[in-house]
A and B are shown apart, each in its own frame.
Chain A
């Protein structure tokens, strides 16, 4: 799956993710589980800071914020 880059005016992380998933519905199940929580081995950084709560995903976003979704280091 190619990883898209999305620009959004969303004011918080979950709204930004929802905006991204609206255009890329398959991506939702790769980033979030079926309860809407960030998958255990996926990590999100906002302007260099790790997202605070993997269940709420309620970090505030500034207009220029940059959000990166990454694979956490795990496995073997």
Chain B
């Protein structure tokens, strides 16, 4: 059972741990610094923390298993932009928005997704990084656009546990992309998604979709879930075709985050928000919705969550599930952190006054 977790916030990285009675906040790291992403690497126990320093840019720190010391390692960085390039995007890493470990057969391999839309690979635990040219040079990148930020960004990196060379990434707004050769070549993988914010002739274009978050079921890797800007989609064939969940999930089918049960690809969680311009919990009441039958039915749960004058949003990386699918950890934009030990039915408050929460993960 998971008994320790990490909470990345605008003002530092916080640990939480489980006692017999409750989950409590524990040690803090990088206090005062924005921590945009974190990665507990299950392969070797390393913890990675990506900083988003207001003055000094994106940085990456690494803490080895059993150590209390952080070491600053290299941060992903673009190569020099070619003279005469017509690319309107500046080749500058603004923020590390996603981190993922390579497969168990690839010790030391890490993936990082950034704003503005760069995917980077490290083969040496972050000591050095290489831009994944195959995706960055895809002609369709010219169609990508900002969603949530001024520039496009890669927020989801789903390594296939059956084959570490197969990686699916999600881009806001640039659809979903799959490589099956370790990153050398890429193809769009967003067929079936519909972007109703676009002109009619472009709504089914794969390269402009806004999947807010994509997650893969570890035990059933062909099953993917997507909280999209315009609803909830799922795929049962590794993203070859996405199907919209209908009828729409209760409360709202808009939101940012989704999490999938690590063994049961039919079970997924969402945190509904009001679409589209207000971006608050519907009726000022926080809920978590769950399906356990592939989206045919949903249950909305509110037990233990604030139900009046609540304006907490849960962003793309603000919901984590333990390996056994029983414990959920959720963190909000206004510093609320809650944990559920029964798969989302009942929630305990860890804190309601943390800094804005960017990402949560179990150790």
Contacts and interface: CB of A to CB of B under 8 A. Distances in A.
A12 interface: no
Interface residues of A, number: 16
A39 B57 contact: yes
B90 interface: yes
A62 interface: no
Among B56, B78, B92, the one with the most A-chain Cβ atoms within 10 Å of its Cβ is B56
A9 B2 CA distance: 58
A74 B56 CA distance: 12
B18 interface: no
Interface in B44-74: 54-57, 59, 72
Contacts of A26: 72
A5 interface: no
B55 A33 contact: no
25 contacts: A29-B56, A29-B57, A29-B75, A29-B77, A30-B55, A30-B56, A30-B57, A31-B56, A33-B57, A33-B92, A33-B93, A34-B79, A34-B91, A34-B93, A35-B80, A35-B81, A35-B90, A35-B91, A35-B92, A37-B92, A39-B56, A41-B55, A74-B54, A74-B55, A75-B54
Nearest to B53: A30
Nearest to A33: B92
Contacts of A75: 54
Interface of A: 26, 29-31, 33-37, 39, 41-42, 71-72, 74-75
A33 B92 CA distance: 7
A71 B55 contact: yes
Contact of B92 (A30, A34, A41, A72): A34
6 nearest A-B residue pairs (beta carbon) = A34-B77, A30-B56, A75-B54, A41-B55, A71-B55, A33-B92
Contacts of B79: 34
B283 to A, nearest CB: 30
Contacts of B91: 34-35
A42 B55 CA distance: 6
Interface in B233-281: none
A71 B54 CA distance: 9
A41 to B, nearest CB: 5
Interface in B86-119: 90-93
Nearest to A41: B55
Contacts of B72: 26
Contacts of A42: 55-56
A37 to B, nearest CB: 8
